[in-house]
Structure 1
Amino acid sequence: MLRDALFLARLFALPVCLIAALSGCGPQAPVATTVRPAMVVQPLPSAQSMDSYPGEVRARLEPELAFRIPGKVSKRLVEEGERVKLNQPLAELDAQDVRLQQDAIRAQVAAAEANLQTVRSERDRYKTLMDRQMVSKSLYDNAENLYRAGDARLRQLKAELTVADNQTGYAVLRAPQEGVIARRLVEVGQVVAAGQTVFTLAADGEREVSISLPEQNYGRFKIGDPVSVELWTQREQRFPGRIRELSPAADPRSRTFAARIAFAGGKVPAELGQSARVYIQSEHAAPLSVPLSALTAENGATYVWRLQSDSTLKRTPVQVGAYGQESVPVLSGLQASDWVVAAGVHVLHEGEQVRPVDRSNRAVRLAAKE
């Protein structure tokens, strides 16, 4: 039995040996080297070196609309947030009193016209008699004065009638330009005074960001300072802007100073009421920052993978600051023109060649950036 087992083992081992011998005799195919893609970024100014202030997108022109006469609101024709056109009626007052006043003045105008016709006839008659030397000149002068007084009275009443007509028109509040009703401050049945704000209109045109600056930092800001604006719906992009307006007085409750930020150029997709954040350069020197995913550590040392001009990797030690939510400031070890790998750093090796791409999977030309 033992002899049979040894014979079978040798029989099965022979083909395996022949296959191994034949494979060793032929030429070996070269192993293809795969260059892996690597997403790279350049260091950016650290967000921790920028002072940020929350704000709201507002219209540059926000007129407060009010009636020019007092009265009781009888109709409210628009709602908050509604778009309006030029001269569109927004609200109406009960105009019964101004119409009665208008009718009274119109009746006085009619009486003054009849009186003027009478005194004109008297003046003309006395002039004829005076020319015939049948009446004295003093009587004619008296008739002339009555005519002049009647004419002046008629012109006065016509002016008052024009004012009454205007006040009747003032009972309807109209939009001075196209825009959106930002605020509504009255209800039907409410009695308002002349000049009391009824609506706030956000006029079409330029958009700005309204922010509040704290007391302790207000002194270092001035009109025209450059800023950058981040919109809530465009969080991956910052738009250039500048400080257009600074309030000279602090709000009595919040103790902050209101400021308006104008966009520097181009059309910005900013909508009314949209949340925004304004970034202003801090007083201290701005370090660079890289994404958290670009960092790795070994033996207590922190480093990044920096790309050289031939697309090979070099492990570069860096000194970092306090970690943020998405990025970390780099205090030393990098320059703004460097490119570093932003993802998958734990599987890379010193001197490894990669194919650099950006976040949109587009090839990065290192030579053009260095």
Structure 2
Amino acid sequence: MPSRLQSKLKDNIVVVPKIQRQISPLLFSMLFAATLAGCSKPAEKVEDIRPVRVIKLASNDIDVNAEFSGEVRARVESRLGFRVGGKIVARKVDVGTLVKHGQVLMQLDPQDLKLSQAQALAGLRAAETNRDLAKAELQRYQELRSKSFVSQAVLDAKESTYKAAQANVDASQAGYRGQSNQAGYAALVSDVDGVVTSVDAEVGQVVTPGTPVVRVAKSGEKEIVIGLPEDKVETLRRVQDVQVRLWADPKKLVAGKIREISPVADPATRTYTVKVSIPDSLAEAKLGMTAVVQFASKTATPQIKVPLTALFYEKSTTSVWVVEGGAVKLVPVSIAGAAGNELVLGSGVKAGQTVVTAGVNLLKPGQKVKILGEDLPVAAGAAK
């Protein structure tokens, strides 16, 4: 090659000796480089090998197999508050206190309520006095009427006065009973046997009627509260095989039952709250413990499932790319149904084949591919 290059350069210098002497060093270098490029060999064509992600198909009868963690809670949990407003002067319980039905939890200042009760009682006494006077006067006029000393119209007026006085007594009695109840509401009592799970007010705080100040969890039935993503709600709603285990004792499994599924997603987590009842045999389940709820169901016949990204659509045909010998081939398939974010294939492929799940639109028949990752992921739902 050097002798050949020198020959060409010599010829050029002989043909144009005058021009060569006028060529600048930079232009001469460019001419030398161009001559070298003309003598180089053409670049070899590199075979196009595309990296792809794949799964190995598996046939099994597992339809649903999912687990979600949650919290143990009491089925009935009351947020108790005073039925009247006032200033808290005493707190009788702490968080974790076991309480009985009727036990006093908190106390309001009863002075104003007692004064109102005394006022209502005084009104009742005044109404009773007016009624007794009206009754005595009615009796006297009845005797006078029997002797024709007064007219019937006068007697009717006295009867009306007595009835009005009796009505005032009835109204005063109702008012007095209401004020007596109000005075009794100064003491907040538990309406169930249970345990105090939260105290939301302290002594000295002024509260309005109905403000929750103590939370009491009723003793007895417990449940597991979990959150389901929106794409799993309808699938798991139909599952009958529900198992529950505590994180503190993962070896013990008990049967659970879906009791309630919220129709509205939680605004913070965007999940749907699900409550799963647990039997009394799980006595070691304490409030606030972490628990795992497992959902499982099987199909009548084994199925092969692939993700949506594995499908390749061409005209009216649905196919998948099957990897064989480091290359891909297009295999038409039929879709038998959907299972969440996966599709159930009815025909076209069989268990054990390797199918491309990413990059399907960039492949062509017979193209060489490189599988990303040494271990092939198994199709979702495969038996372990």
TM range (shorter): 0.5 to 0.7
The number of residues matched between the two structures is: 253
Whole-Å separation in 2 of the counterparts to 1:267 and 1:218: 26
Match runs of 1:356-367 below 5 Å:
none
- Work out whether 1:266 is the aligned partner of 2:281: yes
Distance 1:331 1:247, change over 3 A: closer
Whole-Å separation in 2 of the counterparts to 1:72 and 1:109: 28
Match of 1:113 in 2: 128
Q: 1:177 aligns with which of 184, 192, 207?
A: 192
Whole-Å separation in 2 of the counterparts to 1:247 and 1:215: 11
Q: Is the 8 A contact 1:211 1:260 kept in 2?
A: yes
Identity level (%): 35
Cα deviation code 1:84-134 (max 9, x no counterpart): 111100011122221111000100111111111111111111111111111
Amino acid at match of 1:108: G
Amino acid at match of 2:97: E
Q: 1:196 aligns with which of 197, 202, 211?
A: 211
**Alignment RMSD, CA only?**
3.1
Match of 2:139 in 1: 124
Distance 1:322 1:95, change over 3 A: farther
Match of 1:213 in 2: 228
Q: Is the 8 A contact 2:221 2:280 kept in 1?
A: no
Q: 2:272 aligns with which of 257, 275, 298?
A: 257
Amino acid at match of 2:217: A
CA shift at 1:138, angstroms? 1.1
Q: Is the 8 A contact 1:247 1:257 kept in 2?
A: yes
TM-score norm. by structure 2 comes to 0.60
CA shift at 1:321, angstroms? 7.8
Match of 1:34 in 2: none
- Work out whether 1:275 is the aligned partner of 2:290: yes
Q: Is the 8 A contact 1:242 1:264 kept in 2?
A: no
Match of 2:201 in 1: 186
Whole-Å separation in 1 of the counterparts to 2:382 and 2:236: 27
- Work out whether 1:233 is the aligned partner of 2:248: yes
Q: Is the 8 A contact 1:106 1:161 kept in 2?
A: yes
Match of 1:60 in 2: 75
Amino acid at match of 1:219: E
Match of 1:357 in 2: none
Structure 1 gaps of 5+ residues are 1-44, 288-317, 324-328, 333-370
Match of 1:5 in 2: none
CA shift at 1:226, angstroms? 2.9
Q: Is the 8 A contact 1:224 1:243 kept in 2?
A: no
Whole-Å separation in 2 of the counterparts to 1:83 and 1:263: 22
Amino acid at match of 1:69: V
Match of 2:99 in 1: 84
CA shift at 1:207, angstroms? 1.3
SS in 1 for 2:68: strand
CA shift at 1:277, angstroms? 1.2
CA shift at 1:143, angstroms? 0.9
SS in 2 for 1:259: strand
CA shift at 1:331, angstroms? 4.4
Max Rg structure:
2
Amino acid at match of 2:153: S
Whole-Å separation in 1 of the counterparts to 2:98 and 2:303: 44
Whole-Å separation in 2 of the counterparts to 1:67 and 1:194: 6
Q: 1:245 aligns with which of 234, 239, 260?
A: 260
Match runs of 1:30-45 below 5 Å:
none
TM-score norm. by structure 1 comes to 0.62
CA shift at 1:148, angstroms? 0.5
Distance 1:81 1:148, change over 3 A: same
- Work out whether 1:165 is the aligned partner of 2:177: no
Q: Is the 8 A contact 1:61 1:202 kept in 2?
A: yes
SS in 2 for 1:229: strand
Q: Is the 8 A contact 2:63 2:298 kept in 1?
A: no
SS in 2 for 1:276: strand
Whole-Å separation in 2 of the counterparts to 1:282 and 1:143: 83
Match of 1:137 in 2: 152
Amino acid at match of 1:138: A
CA shift at 1:222, angstroms? 2.2
SS in 2 for 1:215: coil
Cα deviation code 1:299-358 (max 9, x no counterpart): xxxxxxxxxxxxxxxxxxx9x9869xxxxx9848xxxxxxxxxxxxxxxxxxxxxxxxxx
Match runs of 1:279-358 below 5 Å:
279-281=294-296, 331=383
CA shift at 1:195, angstroms? 1.9
Amino acid at match of 2:287: L
Q: Is the 8 A contact 1:229 1:277 kept in 2?
A: yes
Distance 1:224 1:149, change over 3 A: farther
Q: Is the 8 A contact 2:239 2:297 kept in 1?
A: no
Cα deviation code 1:246-287 (max 9, x no counterpart): 111111111111111112573442111111111112789799
Match of 1:364 in 2: none
Structure 2 gaps of 5+ residues are 1-59, 305-351, 353-374
Whole-Å separation in 2 of the counterparts to 1:283 and 1:185: 47
Q: Is the 8 A contact 1:51 1:282 kept in 2?
A: no
- Work out whether 1:97 is the aligned partner of 2:102: no
Amino acid at match of 1:216: D
Cα deviation code 1:29-53 (max 9, x no counterpart): xxxxxxxxxxxxxxxx9x9973221
CA shift at 1:186, angstroms? 1.3
Amino acid at match of 2:289: Q
Match of 1:70 in 2: 85
Whole-Å separation in 2 of the counterparts to 1:64 and 1:232: 28
